[in-house]
Amino acid sequence: MAESGASPLLRAVVALATEDDPRDTLRRIAEAACTLTGARGGAVAVYETGDVITAGSADLLPAATVLRPLADVPDEVVVPAPSAVAAPIRVGDAVHGVLYLAEKATGEFGADDREIAATLAAAAGMAVENVGKYRRTHARDRWLTAAHEVTRALLTGADLDTTLYLIAERARTVAAASVGAVVRPSLADPDTLVFEVVASPIAEHRALAGVTVPVEGTASGVAFATRETVAVRRYGDHVVSQQSGSAVTMPATIKDLDSAVAVPLTVGPDTLGVLMVAKFGDLTPFAEDEIAEVREFAVHAALTLEFTRAEADRQKLAVFRDRDRIARDLHDLVIQRLFAVALGLEGLKRAADRPELADGISGFVRDLDRTIREIRNSIFSLQEPAEAHGGLRSELLGLAHDSAAVLGFEPRVAFDGPVDTAVTGPIRADLLAVVREALSNVARHAAASSASVEIVVDRDGQRLDLRVTDDGAGPGDRPGKHSGLANLSHRAARWGGSSSLRHPDEGGTTLTWSVELANPSQGAS
């Protein structure tokens, strides 16, 4: 031995207990082992992370020797070469790594040296285990604090969007992740999910809020459908590949995301969404205990989300009651009075002795008719919440609601005529696809601050006219715009209709899409 007696070894073992960083602990082990055995070089190889922590002349230990396969790690101290000693570092029943010593300065390693290596390796295992317990306890405290913050937001009356972002941001921070997100089912399509909030220090990642992904074949979709936690690697590659055929432009740094965890937000039989956290490839992948902590936080977050949703529903119910009262007043009082005024003007028109006076009165009557139609549309909008399901009007309102995340505002939607009863089957599917494409074009190209969607079906249910208007700059000469318009025109032609795009002098863009409803069998062609 380079130093005799138990005191130096005892001091080295005691010193290990003062370290709270695993790398510092393992470095002290390598240094103490070199000092006590007289080795010119030493290293600790950590198999889980691939780290190699060296002391002395590290070049005396080839990487191939230090990082030997886990299956080759011996149960006892061995001499892998004439001038080397190897001792396994165990944490519980698992081999955490191995301590290697090489090139004893005086002679060869003896039994005492092997005993020192075994003692330090055993002490290292206990120290690393204690540090792990401390870190897990500290992590649980941080997750508990995050859960309390979410609860505090609930108690202070935070709205749903604020609560969702807080859940994503706190999960990202405590998990030491690069991105955190809450993914929820789309109101317009039950087979897709929407990234409602994305928390990240990188601004271009936050722009992914509003991106839709299919339930089938995605990590978040599998977690949502199976109600089971899903952990994947190379998450960024999966996202870029899945979105390659869509209109969404993926930030370049997305492909660098590696380890990701998707945890369902469940309350009883209901799945409210999915909590996602992901790390860049240069960070340590999520360990099993970290995944368990994310899962536990998700349970608390789901309860908070459910309470927030229940409170929002209670407030909406109060608003709907007011809306019902306003709608009744509009229908029973305002529309009836306007109708009476229109009838009176019709009577005056017949009594008018000058053509120009009769024409003026006719214009006022037409204005009143338009006003009555707009009020009726407003009454329907008051009575039909965007979250409702079932009718075509509800689905179109849901599309507008979903598009708000990428547009920055919610488009105005107006209806006239028997939309729900006249537009059915394949035409209905085409109409929804056209509206979705039109709003997507507005988001990508228009830089608009407002948009409207108007759907008109004539009283006989023979013709459908769709008009999507925005106040933006339009697509200009960007590549790919014509293929999108050709697709809309093709859908219209299937039903004996047409599609056109206008740019009025006053600015903005108007898409018109018109089809015949009388012969739905045309769509088979």
Q: In 3-state terms, what secondary structure has residue 170?
A: helix
Which of 29-33, 365-369, 376-380, 483-487 ranks highest by mean pLDDT? 29-33
Q: If residue 52 lies in a helix (H) or strand (E), which one and from where to where?
A: strand 52-56
- What is the token pair recorded at 473? 């700059």
What is the CATH superfamily name and number for domain 387-525?
A: Histidine kinase-like ATPase, C-terminal domain (3.30.565.10)
Nearest to 466, CA basis, from 524, 410, 525, 411: 411
**Mean pLDDT of all residues in 8-18:** 66
pLDDT value of position 479: 44
Give domain 155-305's CATH superfamily.
GAF domain (3.30.450.40)
Q: Which of 148-157, 216-225, 235-244, 437-446 has the highest mean pLDDT?
A: 216-225
Q: Which CATH class, in words, describes the domain spanning 7-135?
A: alpha beta
**Residue among 391, 393, 433, 442 at smallest CA distance from 415:** 393
- Give residue 277's pLDDT: 92
DSSP-derived pairing of the beta strands 39-46 and 52-56: antiparallel
Domain ranges of the chain: 7-135, 155-305, 387-525
Residue 73 CA to residue 48 CA, distance in Å, equals 13
What pLDDT, on a 0 to 100 scale, did the predictor assign at position 482? Answer: 47
pLDDT of residue 61: 57
Q: What is the rounded distance in angstroms from the CA atom of residue 359 to the CA atom of residue 352?
A: 10
The angle formed by the CA atoms of residues 493, 494 and 497, to the nearest 5 degrees, is 40
> What pLDDT, in 10s, does the model give residues 258-308?
888 999 999 888 888 999 999 887 677 888 888 989 999 999 888 888 887
Around 110, how many Cα atoms within 13 Å sit in the side-chain half-sphere?
8
Residues 341 and 202: their CA atoms lie apart, in Å, by 59
Taking only the tens place, the pLDDT of each residue in 176-227 is 888 999 999 887 777 888 888 889 888 777 777 878 888 888 888 899 999 9
Q: What pLDDT, on a 0 to 100 scale, did the predictor assign at position 186?
A: 84
User: Residue 475: its pLDDT value, please?
Assistant: 59
Write out the E strands in 403-508.
412-416, 451-457, 463-470, 498-502
Average pLDDT (357-374) is 77
So what's the pLDDT on residue 510?
Answer: 93
Domain 7-135 matches domain 155-305 at the CATH topology level: yes
The rounded mean pLDDT for the chain is 78
Give the SS3 label for residue 396: helix
Q: Which of 499, 501, 503 is nearest to 515 (CA)?
A: 499
Q: Which residues pair with 149 in a beta bridge?
A: none
